[in-house]
Amino acid sequence: MPATPAITLSSLDYERLTALLETCAHDHPVAGRLEAELDRAEVVEPQAMPAGVVTMNSTARILLDGGEKLLTLVYPRDADSEQGRISVLAPIGAALLGLSAGQTIQWPTPSGSAQLTVLEIAYQPEAAGEFHR
C-alpha cells in the first residue's frame, strides 16, 4: 500500500467537521477514519488555502478504480449521488478531503479498498473568494 499523501484543510472546514463528528454515532463506519484525517492534516486559514486542494464544497475530477468521475464534496445533509454530491461521511468523500490535484490515496470501502486519484479541481470555494461559506 502506498504512503498516505499529505493533506491540507482550511480552519473553517476543520472546525465544522470536528463539530459534525461530535454529533455522529460512535459506531459510524467512516467517522473514525475522518477523525484520523483531521488529526493528520495541515490546517491553514481559508485565505491561505492553495487552489489545487479539495475542500468542502469543492468539485474535483477524479480517477476512481480506473473510471473518471466529477464529484462535489459536501456535508451529509447536502449529499445527492445523482448530482455527484458526495458526503464527507461516505468512504470516498472522506478520502477526497484535503487531497491535492495529482495525489493518489488507497482507501478502505465496504467492498474492500479503492484507489482514488485527484485529476483536477474544477471548483474550490476558497479560490473563488468564498471564505465563509
Q: For position 61, which CATH number holds?
A: 3.10.50.30
Q: What is the rounded CA–CA span in Å between residue 48 and residue 66?
A: 32
Per the structure, the count of domains in the chain is 1
| Residue 132, in any domain of the structure | no
Domain limits for position 15: 8-123
pLDDT surpassing 60 at residue 1: no
For residues 25-32, give the mean pLDDT. Answer: 80
For residues 44-66, give the mean pLDDT. Answer: 95
Q: What is the rounded CA–CA span in Å between residue 40 and residue 34?
A: 10
Query: Is 121 within 8 Å of 52 (Cβ atoms)?
Result: yes
What per-residue confidence (pLDDT) applies to 133? Answer: 62
Q: What is the mean pLDDT of the chain?
A: 91
| Residue 1, in any domain of the structure | no
| Residue 131, in any domain of the structure | no
| Residue 3, in any domain of the structure | no
| Residue 57, in any domain of the structure | yes
Cell readout for 90 is 461516505
| More confident of the two residues 79 and 131 | 79
pLDDT surpassing 80 at residue 58: yes
| Residue 37, in any domain of the structure | yes
For residues 67-76, give the mean pLDDT. Answer: 96
